[in-house]
Structure 1
Amino acid sequence: MPMLNTQFVRFVIVGFLNTFNYYVIYLICNYLFHLEYLVSHIIGFLISMVGSFFLNSYFTYKVKPTLRQFFQFPLTYVVNITVSTGALYLLVDLMHMNETVSPILASVIAIPFTFVISKKILVNKVAN
Structure 2
Amino acid sequence: MRELPTLRPGGQIVRFAAVGGVNTVTFYACYLPLHRLLPYFAAYTAAFAASLAGAFFLHTYVTYRTRPTWTKFLLFPLTQVTNYSVQSAGLVALVGWCGLDTAVAPLVAALCALPFTYLVSRRILRPPARTGPAAARPGPSAQAGPPPARSGEAA
CA shift digits 1:15-41 (9 cap, x unpaired): 10011111111111112xx11111111
Separation of aligned partners in 2, 1:63 and 1:6: 14
Please give the per-residue CA displacement for 1:54-103, whole angstroms capped at 9, x wherever unaligned.
00111111122122211110001111100101110111123221011111
Equivalent in the alignment of 1:4? 9
Structure 1 moving runs of 4+ over 4 Å: none
Question: Identity over the aligned pairs, expressed in percent?
Answer: 37
Residues 101-127 of structure 1 deviation map (CA, whole Å, 9 limit, x = unaligned) = 1110011111111111111222117x5
Match of 1:42 in 2: 45
Unaligned regions of 5+ residues in structure 2, if any?
1-6, 131-155
SS in 1 for 2:11: helix
Partner of 2:125: 122
Question: What is the aligned counterpart of 1:25 among 30, 34, 43?
Answer: 30
Which of these two proteins has the greater Rg computed from alpha carbons?
A: 2
Q: Which runs of 5+ in 1 are unaligned?
A: none
Residue of structure 1 in register with 2:18 after alignment: 13
TM-score (norm 2): 0.75
Q: Counterparts of 1:48-87 in structure 2 under 5 Å?
A: 48-87=51-90
TM-score (norm 1): 0.89
Instruction: Name the structure where helix makes up a greater proportion of residues.
Output: 1
